[in-house]
Amino acid sequence: MTDLSLEFCGIRYPNPFVLAAAPTTDKEEMVARAFEAGWGGAVLKTTSVETEDVSLVYPMMTGLDYDGKRLAALQNIDLISHYHIDVVEKRVRALKKEFPDRVVAASIMGQAKEHWQELVQRLETAGVDLIECSFSCPHGMPERGMGSTIGQNPDLVERTARWVKEAARRVPVVIKLTPQIADITVAAQAVKKSGADGVCAINTVKGIIGVDIHDFVPQPRVLDKSTIGGVSGLAIKPVALRCVAEIARDVGIPITASGGITTWRDAVEFLLLGARNLQVCTAAMQYGFELVKDLKEGLGNYMEEMNFSSVEEIVGKALPNLVDHNSLSRNHKVVSRVDEDRCINCGRCYIACNDGGHQAITMSEDRVPQIDEEECVGCGFCTTICPVYCLQMERVEEKS
Amino acid sequence: MAEEKKLSKEAALFEAAGCLKCHQAPCQENCPAGIDIPGFIFKIKTGDIKGAKRVLYDKNIFSATCAAVCPVEELCQENCNKNQVSRSVFIGQLQGYAVEEGGDIDYPEEELTDDPRKIAVIGAGPAGMSGAYRLARAGHRVDLFEAGDRPGGTPYWGIPEWRLSREILEKETKEIEKHLNSVNFNTRIGVDIQVEELLKDYDALLVCCGLGDGASLRIKGAELEGTVDAVKFLKAHNTGENGVPSPEGKVVLIIGGGNTAMDAALAAKEAGAERSIVVYRRSWEEMPAWKAEIRKAIDSGVEFMLQTAPVEIVGRDKVEAMKMVPTRLVREKEGRRPRPVPLEGSEFVFPAGLIITALGQMENPLVEKLQDQEQVFFAGDAAGGDATVVQAVAGGKEAAEKIMVFFREQKERGV
Ligand SMILES: Cc1cc2nc3c(=O)[nH]c(=O)nc-3n(C[C@H](O)[C@H](O)[C@H](O)COP(=O)(O)OP(=O)(O)OC[C@H]3O[C@@H](n4cnc5c(N)ncnc54)[C@H](O)[C@@H]3O)c2cc1C
Ligand SMILES: Cc1cc2nc3c(=O)[nH]c(=O)nc-3n(C[C@H](O)[C@H](O)[C@H](O)COP(=O)(O)O)c2cc1C
Ligand code: SF4
């Protein structure tokens, strides 16, 4: 099988697929099963010191349905693990003993400097491979000066990251960032300045997934109230891709990506935009640990097809093609073209162009879309609608 | 079909999610009633089941009946664009789900016209009821005349219960009756009331009397006891009337290849026939019965003797057997059905206890009597056409619209 190994923060992962800090990594037995299925690493669910009170609420998750399907996105109002550092230490020991070739990372969250430093030291002693610091949880924790409160303030990011980095003797330190900030590169720059080794982008996007329209309680409802939470899953992939690309391009610090990774294609896209490690949470919860087989095989087949001999070759390959809006070509024309053999005559492109485009499509007697190339400005909306992908943008004559 | 059609909520949402919501949807174009199919399916998808039901009833006052009896594979589903990539959306099942789960909907408010003209509607089948309802909704005075003792027409006496629950039919006809000026059962026009009288008393006639008796088999022995017309047989079977021979314990031969033949064969089986065998002159390919009906017959153990033509019914004073002959098919013209030609000399005799003829129904004699009169309009099976309930419902409504146009034109001409 293709070699999928990839280096991140000085550690060689057998493959870049890592379970993100979440319920999937909150039990030793679960992580062991995930490793058996083939995950390259796992970030154990965020822990803190024994004095930190973790008071969970239930239910804590609600999904967003789209077009008759479930879980286009997931909102959670979970907190950090209710297992404290002493339990996590034991898990790290046991997992490292049983799976020495996998990367066991621990996620931590604290308030005072002593907390952060104590957490790092104890976990390092227990044998953890990497420390991830959550500066990014958007719910619950910020009310107490933790989570995204830190991540949203570059000074706090730098100061806290430095505390952790100082305390770590051996293991690399990664800071998990929140997208709830005007310019995520500022936060990533602060991490770089602190001397920490890498960033994880991104944690969940702050949101409200829905409201019960009959009794007016937002979701997820806890008895008769709700609260703003963190949105994850496929729907946040564009936000995560953008954050990863900006950091890779403008900051240049190793990135472990998180946010919407569901298929091997998503994984390749994150690699192409500069990630060198791939964390999966919602998709693994949704499809189970076996998902990793598909991710690995898909990535391997893709590399074979594209003649890549190492994952390293993929990293950042799309970055040169991401430029300012101003630099995009204005000197060419594209129009939409229909593959009539594949068209199933549904007319959705007609509606899309008529009400969302430039009225360039008409339907023939036998229901085949006809594109008026004069009227078509080339906006591309019709190609996003066609259920059988039979419309494509094609380049026509040069514009002067 | 009726019992197989029930979708759970989950299944309905799943199915509805598959609809592409096509522009100028071809499914809708192949619905005689013109139901906004993508519209009602989208409403199911968004959880507005009552809204979906309203969309249905807006175009088809017999939506629940049609959900049960429509040959969807030959109509809307046949045209579904998704056939080109996988399979059609199960539109019929979604319709069934919406009418069942959509709760009570309020029928639209009546409009009022100050036009005092009166209309007589003949026949309380789907065409007559639908036309009468449309006219009454417009504020006209409508009197309905029906030869039988209840509304529903052929769906009441002809369509088997397993396909259409009489409860559903009755609920829909009851709602319509409420809007009419009078409903007169046991009144056969041409017998109990003369045609001339109606023409005198009413400003327009809507004739929805359906078809007449079944065509008879013209072979030797056809008059023997133990031969019965499918229409009569089904009527007795479905309504519990007496007067036709029982199929119980007998070998029953059903002659014909249409839906009525299938229904009669199934009914014979249901009534305890030892064997129920359809005898048809041509092959599967030419058989006019709907695919779903043929499948149901096969699944229920009905047997088929194809490319076989009846020659003579044999028996002393009642049916004992039928003499038949195999046929070969000769295609005389491209695009035409091939002609069955008997294989002379290979006749055989097959013992049978009951023979049911399903050779199609003849025109209702009332139609002839009322031809070529300005104020007489026809709809449903009486007007010829597709012989489906949905076609009758749509036809009744269209004829009602025509009558209203006719009234308007008369008014303009000062009549
Ligand atoms: C066995 C069988 C099964 C069928 N199955 C299906 C099916 O599954 N799906 C489907 O879509 N279609 C089916 N059809 C066809 C469908 O029933 C008819 O096309 C439809 O009922 C026609 O409606 P109509 O209103 O024109 O006539 P009908 O339903 O036949 O109603 C005519 C009414 O007029 C009354 N009448 C007749 N003469 C007079 C008179 N002189 N005075 C007063 N009243 C009179 C009759 O008593 C009757 O009530 C089936 C037909 C048969 C025979
Ligand atoms: C139920 C749930 C609990 C989570 N808990 C944590 C956590 O304790 N610490 C953390 O850093 N991220 C946590 N996350 C965020 C995930 O690690 C991940 O960054 C986010 O879900 C985006 O990735 P995804 O789209 O693959 O799910 C949690 C996510 C979910 C859905
Ligand atoms: S043709 Fe099929 S997919 Fe298109 S609107 Fe009708 S049911 Fe939906």
Mean pLDDT of B35-55: 94
* Distances in whole angstroms, Cα of residue A346 to Cα of each of A362, A375, B57: 12, 21, 25
CB pair distance less than 8 Å for B81 and A346 = yes
Catalytic residue among A133, A137, A349, A376: A137
Q: Is residue A1 part of a domain?
A: no
Q: Which of B4, B113, B94, B3 is nearest to B55 (CA)?
A: B94
Contact between residue B210 and residue B153 where contact means Cβ atoms under 8 Å apart: yes
Q: How far is the CA of A281 from the centre of ligand 3 (A)?
A: 36
pLDDT above 90 for B334 = no
Domain boundary residue among B357, B388, B404?
A: B357
Q: Which helix (H) or strand (E) holds A219?
A: strand A218-219
In this structure, the residues whose C-beta lies within 6 A of any atom of ligand 2 are: A 20-23, 45-46, 61, 74, 76, 78, 80, 107, 134, 176, 203-204, 232-233, 236, 258-261, 280-283
pLDDT value for B108: 67
Region B148-166: mean pLDDT is 94
With CA atoms as reference, the chain B residue closest to A343 would be: B84
Give the mean pLDDT of A123-138. Answer: 94
Domain boundary among A293, A321, A349: A321
pLDDT by residue (tens digit) across A151-196? 999 999 999 999 999 999 999 999 999 999 999 999 999 999 999 9
Q: Are residues B307 and B265 in the same domain?
A: yes
DSSP H or E run through B231 = helix B230-239
Contacts of B385 (CB under 8 A, 6+ apart): B391, B395
The answer to whether residue B109 is domain-embedded is no
Residue A116, domain member (yes or no):
yes
Q: How many domains in chain B?
A: 3
Does the structure show a pLDDT above 60 at B325?
yes
User: Are residues A256 and A108 part of one domain?
Assistant: yes
Q: What is the DSSP letter of B22?
A: -
Q: Are residues A60 and A113 in the same domain?
A: yes
CATH code for the domain in which residue A340 is found: 3.30.70.20
A354 lies in the same domain as A238:
no
Q: For residue A399, what pLDDT is reported? A: 56
B200 & B236 share domain: no
Percent of chain A's residues with pLDDT above 70? 99
Separation of alpha carbons B219 and B222, rounded Å: 6
Is B218 part of any domain? no
Quick one: A130 and A223 in the same domain?
Answer: yes
In the reported structure, the alpha carbon of residue A62 is separated from the centroid of ligand 2 by a whole-number distance in angstroms of 14
Which of the listed residues B37, B66, B101 is the one where a domain comes to its end? B101
Q: Report which of residues B219 and B107 the model is more confident about.
A: B219
What one-letter code names the amino acid at B153?
G
B102: nearest Cα among B61, B172, B44, B59: B44
Q: What is the mean pLDDT of residues A257-273?
A: 97
B154 alpha carbon – ligand 1 mean position (Å): 3
Give B4's pLDDT tier (boundaries 50, 70, 90). Answer: low
Same domain, B352 and B367: no
* ipTM for the whole complex: 0.75
Judged against a pLDDT cut of 80, whether residue A131 lies above it is answered with yes
Picking from B23, B24, B37, B44 by the largest number of A CB atoms within 10 A of its own CB, the best residue to mutate is: B23
B46 touches chain A (CB under 8 A): no
Question: In this structure, is residue B217 part of a structural domain?
Answer: no
Token code pair at residue A104: 């066991």
Residue A243: active-site member: no
Provide the CATH number for the domain around residue B57.
1.10.1060.10
Boundary residue ending a domain (B342, B357, B372): B357
- Alpha-carbon distance B144 to B181, whole Å? 8
Whether residue A218 sits in one domain with residue A129: yes
Please indicate, yes or no, whether residues B170 and B80 belong to a single structural domain of this protein: no
Kindly state whether residues B261 and B283 are assigned to the same domain.
Answer: yes
Query: What are the tokens at A164?
Result: 């952790």
Q: Which residues line ligand 1 (CB under 6 A)?
A: B 69-71, 122-128, 145-148, 153-155, 158-159, 163, 188-190, 208-210, 234, 259-260, 263, 364, 366, 380-382, 387-390, 392
A66, part of any domain: yes
| Residue from the list B17, B22, B81 with its beta carbon closest to the beta carbon of A69 | B17
- When CB atoms are compared, the residue of A346, A350, A363 closest to B20 is A346
Domain boundary among the residues A295, A321, A347 is at A321
0.90 exceeded by the pTM? Answer: no
Domain containing B200: what range?
Answer: 118-212+363-412
Average pLDDT, chain A: 95
The protein residue whose alpha carbon is closest to atom 6 in ligand 2 is A22
Distance, CA of A326 to CA of A10 (rounded, Å): 37
Tokens at A303, concatenated: 């590399």
Has residue B219 been placed in a domain?
no
Going by CA atoms, what residue is nearest to atom 1 of ligand 3?
B80
Percent of chain B with pLDDT over 70: 98
3-class state of residue B32 by DSSP: coil
Q: Give the mean model confidence (pLDDT) for residues A349-373.
A: 96
Domain containing residue A224:
6-321
Q: What is the pLDDT of residues B259-303, one digit of tens each?
A: 999 999 999 999 999 999 999 999 999 999 999 999 999 999 999
- The predicted pLDDT at position B246 comes to 92
Domain contains A400:
no
Let me know whether B240 and B339 are in one domain: yes
pLDDT at A146: 82
Q: Whose CA is nearest to atom 6 of ligand 3?
A: B27
pLDDT at residue B76 tops 60: yes
Which amino acids bring their CB within 6 angstroms of ligand 3?
A 346; B 19-22, 25-27, 37-38, 80-82, 88-89, 91
Same domain, B237 and B352: yes
| Alpha helices (H) in chain A, listed in sequence order | 28-37, 85-98, 113-126, 148-151, 154-167, 184-194, 237-250, 264-272, 282-287, 291-306, 348-356, 381-385
Distance from CA of B385 to the nearest CA of A (A): 25
- Tell me: pLDDT of B112 over 80: no
Average pLDDT in the B51-70 region? 95
Give the number of domains in chain A. 2
Of A301, A321, A341, the domain-final residue:
A321
φ, ψ of residue A185 to 5 degrees: the values are: -70, -25
Q: Quote the tokens at residue A162.
A: 């430095």
A207 touches A72 (CB < 8 A): no
**A365 and A316 in one domain?**
no
* pLDDT tens track for B358-377: 999 999 999 999 999 999 99
From A269-278, B50-59, B100-109, B390-399, the region with the lowest mean pLDDT:
B100-109
pLDDT (0 to 100) of residue B3: 43
CA-based end-to-end distance of chain A:
50
pLDDT at A398: 62
Whether B24 and chain A come into contact, CB under 8 Å, resolves to yes
Whether residues A366 and A299 fall in one domain: no
Say yes or no for a CB contact (<8 Å) between A344 and B13.
Answer: no
Q: Is residue B2 part of a domain?
A: no
